[in-house]
């Protein structure tokens, strides 16, 4: 099966780019040095399309760019006032849905949700806090799960399945009661190992390694210096 | 006891071939047998079908008819749709609570009876109604509710509650139900007489391509509400390269106020199955699935019997009606209480034995549906129409209806009217004509197409039923002038919050936030800018949600804002000095007061 992939032309924010067929809008944009903000899309995992941060307008209709594949002549808008507003609202929703205390959180500076809020210029959520009662699972010797910070992006669910070939995590319940569950009474009883890829998959501080929280001091962390997405945009600058 | 559980769960799993894709059936059977799907049962099922326990738990906790905690031997599910509220839900709930000595959501201490609420069970024409296990109890009054509980306490057998039978097949021993059909107006397509095999006979004399051509020429559009051209859908599925294709009938009639499919399933099962078989022939499928909502499980035995009879008469199975090489069979998949499964990709997930999470679209089901194969998903009524079209011809069918929407539509009309029931009317019928037909009482508003569509006021009663004007999957609820439209909007917002699958952020979180604004305004604490916030948030949820549920969920609020804005405006007022009238300091400090063991003096 060495079928040559066709090259298609699409337009993102007025810029014409050549892309290979079959890839998603998000990936195509990234290759062209255009960053479309996203949270649940992660590496080469099967896209989830759940956070909706990567929403773009495709030929006039709003679609999640992480799941939508490119087609010839597609006209995509991403950097518009409307979409920025929607993305802000989504990030706000994720903040008020859980219990996020950036100032005390060891993930600060590594956290994609926090970084997204900085990128969007959010200082405080516009929505009222929902203040849910959520648990912390400290049973595992090397890893802990703090449900307070979980944003239900499913990166752990998919990484465990697709990269670790296990099935440690899954969602239970539905609607606003939906939450992450593990494949046993607690994390300690699962086959989760600290060396599994899933341990590094969480965008927020929900799934964390124990005893290494402050190895990199605050102030020296990636998002302390550069905004999320800037690596992608920088490549574009170099190309110019 | 533990051994018994092990043995019975193993037997149940075995009876479904330990097949992971049949988890809905396995879980339903375990729930019925034990009144719950306990942690131990979850482990046993996972082992039998060779999957992880969390996958089973994920499924069990998704559907409202499954529970991990043990329920009573009898579960009373009182329908709490708006129509039931209008007909006395509260008094019946109060009577049940008093008689049982428990609150809603609880089980009696002897473990015998559980009382709970459930959204629309498809009985709005005979509300208030309840499901008692799988028995539908209709036309409830507080007195009848109390009598029912006293009887149940004697025998714990809901089937004995049925003493007066409904008309038609409701009195068939396999249905044995008090449910009434309430067919008020018969049309030429659905409720005209139908003889089994006639449509199929004409179909099998044609090539599959010409059958698709006939359906296309008839201009039949999907009756579920979205109105996608049926022939085109069949063509897409038939042209997608694949080894296997499937036909699914969406009988998950969950849109509040809709019950016409209930009547079609009761009285036109043959016509429906024939329509599915026609689709199977046209598309090249060998299996059809009828996805029957859990609320209609009282029809399960009867429908299975109809399938058996059709098999025995050569209308299903191998070489149907002697046509060599045409093999088609139908199985029934029972749902378990999840509105979102009416969304076709969620319905497919459920058929595959998974949570009813919608799938990403594209690919659309005709390209990649059930088990990844091309799949046609059509509504009950659409398949019935297909049968009639194959008998009478495309021309006959397309001559009926409005200029752009052919045929007739089965409508479920309920609410403030003297003659609630099913009406088959040509497309193009005016809303005001419907009000007359059903003998509406002092009508002030109509909810056309259920809460996922729109509520209209008298200024639009001249509109017509069709896809370009007043689109509906069949639900029409009439409200008299005294009804509080904002309460109705809030009621349905609660419904969508409960029924959201929780997959995507805007629907999962946005609806809960929208509810906070609505509550603030309705409680009198709102400010003028709150209405704009509600509008902005609603538009965002509509625009960014992943499936049709989220995209429609703000409609009750948007409808009220757009069509009855003055009602909201009258409830908000400007506040001075930046005061936040919705901030309740007393309740905000309750937790901290409990923690430090002090109480405020000023409560």
The hierarchical CATH code for the domain A8-79 is: 3.10.20.740
Kindly give the residue spans of alpha helices, DSSP state H, lying in B126-171: 142-155
Length of chain B: 603
Q: Tell me if B342 sits within 8 A of B353, measured CB to CB.
A: no
pLDDT above 90 for B601: no
Q: Residue A12 CA to chain centroid, in angstroms? A: 21
Pick left, alpha or beta for residue B161 (phi over 0 → left; psi -120 to 50 → alpha; otherwise beta): alpha
pLDDT score at B582: 66
Q: What residue has token string 């070489």? A: B319
CA B92 → CA B86, B99, B155, distances in Å? Answer: 12, 10, 22
Tens digit of pLDDT for each residue in A213-240?
A: 899 999 999 999 899 999 998 755 554 4
pLDDT above 50 for A1: no
Query: B183 in helix, strand or coil?
Result: strand
pLDDT score at A4: 72
**Which of A126-130, B172-176, B249-253, B598-602 shows the lowest mean pLDDT across its residues?**
B598-602
Q: How is residue B283 written in tokens?
A: 């598309």
Beta-carbon count within 10 A of B599 CB: 11
Give, as one character, the DSSP assignment of residue A188.
Answer: G
d(CA B507, CA A49): 13
In the structure, what pLDDT confidence band is assigned to residue B576 with cuts at 50, 70 and 90?
confident
Q: What residue has token string 């809030």? A: B490
Q: How is residue B521 written in tokens?
A: 């305004």
B62:A152 CB<8 A: no
- Residue of B193, B168, B163, B191 whose CA lies nearest to B178: B163
A62 CB neighbours in chain B (<8 A) are 543-544
Tens digit of pLDDT for each residue in A34-90?
A: 999 999 999 999 999 999 999 999 998 999 999 999 999 999 999 999 999 999 999
Does the N-terminal peptide bond of residue B362 adopt cis geometry, omega within 30 degrees of 0?
Answer: yes
Q: Tell me if B481 sits within 8 A of B435, measured CB to CB.
A: no
d(CA B293, CA B300): 10
Q: Is B49 on the interface with A (CB under 8 A)?
A: no
Q: How is residue B142 written in tokens?
A: 């507080």
What average pLDDT does chain B have? 95
Nearest CA in chain B to A93: B509
A184 CB neighbours in chain B (<8 A) are 53-54
Q: Which residues pair with B376 in a beta bridge?
A: B247
pLDDT score at B369: 97
Q: Which residues pair with B311 in a beta bridge?
A: none
Tens digit of pLDDT for each residue in B511-526?
A: 999 999 999 999 888 8
Pick left, alpha or beta for residue A13 (phi over 0 → left; psi -120 to 50 → alpha; otherwise beta): left
Q: Tell me if B354 sits within 8 A of B366, measured CB to CB.
A: no
- Residue of A204, A192, A142, A185 whose CA lies nearest to A165: A192
pLDDT above 80 for B597: no
* Chain A residues with a Cβ under 8 Å from any Cβ in chain B: 47, 49-53, 55, 62, 64, 67-69, 85-86, 89-90, 93-94, 96-97, 127-128, 130, 152, 167, 169-178, 181-184
Candidate from A127, A152, A182 with C-beta closest to B513: A127
Tens digit of pLDDT for each residue in B88-106?
A: 999 999 999 999 999 999 9
Report chain B's terminal Cα–Cα distance, integer Å: 52
A236 or B403, higher pLDDT:
B403
Beta-carbon count within 10 A of B255 CB: 25
A172 CB neighbours in chain B (<8 A) are 54, 57-58, 61-62
Closest Cα of chain A to B600: distance in Å?
22
Give, as one character, the DSSP assignment of residue B460.
Answer: G
d(CA B337, CA A11): 44
Q: Tell me if B502 sits within 8 A of A174, measured CB to CB.
A: yes
Give, as one character, the DSSP assignment of residue B165.
Answer: P
Edge-to-edge order in the sheet of strand B375-379: B329-334, B287-292, B246-251, B375-379
Q: Tell me if B259 sits within 8 A of B123, measured CB to CB.
A: yes
Rounded to 5 degrees, what angle do the CA atoms B53, B58, B59 make?
A: 100
Tens digit of pLDDT for each residue in B196-212?
A: 999 999 999 999 999 99
Within 8 A by CB and 6+ apart from B241, the residues are none
pLDDT score at A240: 45
Q: Tell me if B560 sits within 8 A of B489, measured CB to CB.
A: yes
pLDDT above 50 for B126: yes
Closest Cα of chain A to B493: distance in Å?
13
What average pLDDT does chain A have? 94
Q: Tell me if B374 sits within 8 A of B245, measured CB to CB.
A: yes
Closest Cα of chain B to A64: distance in Å?
8
Which residues in B223-239 are b (16+ Cβ under 10 Å) and which e?
bbbebbebbebbbbbbe
- CB hemisphere CA count around B21 (13 angstroms): 10
Tens digit of pLDDT for each residue in B325-370?
A: 999 999 999 999 999 999 999 999 999 999 999 999 889 999 999 9
B27 CB neighbours in chain A (<8 A) are none
pLDDT above 70 for B107: yes
Within 8 A by CB and 6+ apart from A5, the residues are A20, A21, A22
- Percentage with pLDDT > 70 across chain B: 98
Q: Tell me if B477 sits within 8 A of B471, measured CB to CB.
A: no
pLDDT above 80 for B9: yes
- CB hemisphere CA count around B92 (13 angstroms): 28
Calculate the dihedral angle through the C-alpha atoms of B209, B212, B217, B220, rounding to the nearest 10 degrees: 180
Q: What residue has token string 């049973």? A: A139
Q: Among B63, B349, B544, which would you mutate to test the A interface (most chain A Cβ atoms within 10 Å of its Cβ)?
A: B544
In the structure, what pLDDT confidence band is assigned to residue A131 with cuts at 50, 70 and 90?
very high
The helix or strand, by DSSP H or E, that contains position A7, with its residue range, turns out to be: strand A7-12
**Which of B19-28, B31-40, B276-285, B452-461 shows the lowest mean pLDDT across its residues?**
B452-461
A174:B338 CB<8 A: yes
ipTM for the predicted complex: 0.96
Q: Is B500 on the interface with A (CB under 8 A)?
A: yes
Level-2 CATH architecture, domain A105-225 = 2-Layer Sandwich (3.30)
pLDDT score at B588: 76
Kindly give the residue spans of alpha helices, DSSP state H, lying in B313-427: 344-351, 380-392, 394-398
Calculate the dihedral angle through the C-alpha atoms of B211, B216, B220, B225, rounding to the nearest 10 degrees: 110
Closest Cα of chain A to B507: distance in Å?
8
pLDDT score at B581: 65
Query: B160 in helix, strand or coil?
Result: helix
- Residue of B340, B95, B106, B369 whose CA lies nearest to B233: B369
Give, as one character, the DSSP assignment of residue B281.
Answer: H
pLDDT score at B229: 97
d(CA B158, CA B541): 42
pLDDT above 60 for B600: no
A90:B505 CB<8 A: yes
Q: Tell me if A31 sits within 8 A of A19, measured CB to CB.
A: yes
Ordered structural domains, chain B, with CATH: 2-60 (no CATH), 74-163 (3.40.30.10), 184-398 (3.40.50.11540), 403-483 (3.10.20.600), 486-569 (1.20.1440.230)
B52 CB neighbours in chain A (<8 A) are 167, 170, 183
Q: Tell me if A227 sits within 8 A of A37, measured CB to CB.
A: no
Nearest CA in chain A to B543: A62
Sequence ranges of the domains in chain A:
8-79, 105-225
Beta-carbon count within 10 A of A226 CB: 12
Within 8 A by CB and 6+ apart from B536, the residues are none
């Amino acid at each position: 099966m060495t079928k040559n992939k066709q090259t298609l032309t699409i337009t993102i924010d007025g810029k014409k780019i050549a892309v290979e067929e079959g890839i998603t809008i998000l990936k195509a944009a990234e290759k062209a040095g255009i960053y479309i903000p996203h949270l649940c899309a992660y590496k080469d995992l099967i896209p989830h399309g759940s956070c909706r941060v990567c929403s773009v307008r495709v030929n006039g209709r709003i679609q999640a760019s992480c799941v939508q594949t490119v087609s010839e002549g597609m006209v995509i808008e991403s950097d518009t006032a409307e979409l920025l507003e929607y993305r802000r609202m989504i990030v706000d929703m994720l903040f008020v849905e859980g219990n996020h205390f950036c100032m005390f959180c060891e993930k600060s500076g590594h956290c994609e949700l926090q970084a997204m809020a900085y990128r969007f210029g959010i200082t405080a959520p516009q929505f009222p806090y929902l203040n849910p009662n959520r648990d912390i699972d400290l049973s595992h010797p090397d890893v802990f799960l703090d449900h307070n910070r979980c944003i239900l992006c499913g990166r752990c669910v998919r990484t465990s399945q697709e990269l670790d070939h296990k099935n440690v995590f899954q969602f239970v319940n539905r609607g606003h009661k939906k939450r992450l569950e593990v494949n046993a009474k607690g994390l300690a009883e699962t086959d989760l190992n600290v060396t599994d890829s899933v341990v590094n998959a969480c965008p927020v501080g929900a799934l964390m390694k124990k005893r290494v929280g402050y190895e990199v001091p605050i102030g020296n962390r990636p998002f302390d210096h550069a905004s999320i997405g800037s690596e992608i945009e920088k490549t574009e600058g170099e190309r110019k | 006891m533990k051994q018994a559980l092990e043995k019975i769960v193993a037997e149940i799993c075995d009876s479904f071939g330990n097949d992971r894709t049949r988890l809905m059936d396995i879980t339903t059977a375990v729930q019925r047998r034990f009144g719950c799907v306990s942690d131990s049962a979850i482990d046993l099922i996972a082992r039998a079908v060779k999957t992880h326990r969390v996958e089973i738990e994920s499924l069990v906790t998704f559907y409202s008819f499954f529970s991990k905690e043990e329920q009573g031997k009898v579960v009373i599910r009182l329908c709490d749709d708006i129509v039931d509220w209008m007909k006395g839900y509260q008094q019946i709930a109060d009577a049940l609570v008093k008689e049982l000595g428990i609150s809603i959501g609880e089980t009696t201490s002897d473990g015998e009876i559980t009382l709970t609420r459930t959204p629309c069970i498809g009985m709005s024409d005979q509300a208030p109604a309840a499901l008692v296990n799988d028995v539908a109890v209709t036309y409830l009054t507080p007195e009848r509710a109390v009598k029912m509980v006293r009887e149940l306490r004697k025998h714990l057998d809901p089937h004995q509650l049925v003493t007066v039978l409904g008309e038609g097949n409701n009195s068939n021993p396999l249905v044995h139900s008090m449910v009434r059909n309430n067919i008020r107006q018969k049309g030429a397509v659905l409720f005209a007489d139908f003889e089994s095999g006639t449509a199929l006979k004409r179909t099998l004399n044609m090539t599959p391509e010409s059958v698709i051509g006939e359906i296309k020429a008839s201009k039949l559009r999907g009756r579920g509400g979205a109105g996608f051209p049926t022939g085109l859908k069949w063509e897409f599925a038939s042209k997608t390269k694949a080894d296997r294709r499937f036909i699914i009938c969406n009988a998950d009639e969950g849109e509040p106020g809709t019950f016409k499919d209930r009547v079609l399933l009761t009285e036109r099962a043959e016509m429906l199955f024939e329509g599915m078989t026609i689709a199977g022939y046209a598309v090249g499928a060998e299996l059809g699935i009828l996805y029957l909502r859990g609320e209609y499980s009282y029809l399960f035995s009867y429908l299975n019997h109809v399938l058996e009879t059709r098999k025995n008469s050569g209308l299903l199975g191998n070489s149907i009606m002697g046509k060599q090489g045409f093999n088609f069979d139908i199985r029934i998949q029972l749902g378990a209480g999840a509105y979102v499964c009416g969304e076709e990709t969620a319905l497919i997930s459920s058929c595959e034995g998974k949570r009813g999470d919608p799938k990403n679209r594209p690919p659309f089901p005709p390209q990649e549906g059930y088990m990844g194969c091309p799949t046609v998903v059509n509504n009950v009524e659409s398949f019935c129409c297909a049968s009639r079209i194959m008998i009478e011809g495309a021309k006959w069918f397309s001559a009926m209806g409005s200029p752009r929407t052919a045929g007739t539509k089965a409508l479920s009309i309920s609410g403030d009217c003297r003659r609630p029931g099913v009406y088959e009317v040509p497309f193009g019928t005016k809303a005001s004509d419907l009000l007359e037909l059903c003998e509406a009482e002092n009508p002030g508003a109509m909810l056309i197409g259920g809460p996922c569509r729109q509520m209209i006021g008298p200024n639009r009663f001249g509109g017509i039923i069709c896809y370009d004007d007043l689109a509906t999957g069949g639900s029409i609820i009439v409200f008299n002038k005294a009804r509080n439209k904002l309460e109705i909007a809030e009621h349905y917002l609660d419904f969508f919050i409960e029924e959201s699958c929780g997959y995507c952020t805007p629907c999962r979180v946005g609806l809960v936030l929208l509810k906070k604004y609505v509550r603030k305004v309705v409680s009198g604490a709102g400010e003028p800018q709150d209405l704009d916030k509600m509008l902005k948030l609603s538009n965002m949820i509509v625009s960014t949600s992943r499936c049709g549920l989220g995209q429609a969920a703000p409609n009750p609020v948007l409808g009220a804002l757009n069509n009855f804005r003055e009602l909201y405006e009258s409830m908000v007022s400007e506040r001075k000095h930046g005061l936040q009238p919705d901030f309740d300091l007393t309740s905000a400090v309750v937790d901290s007061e409990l923690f430090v063991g002090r109480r405020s003096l000023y409560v």
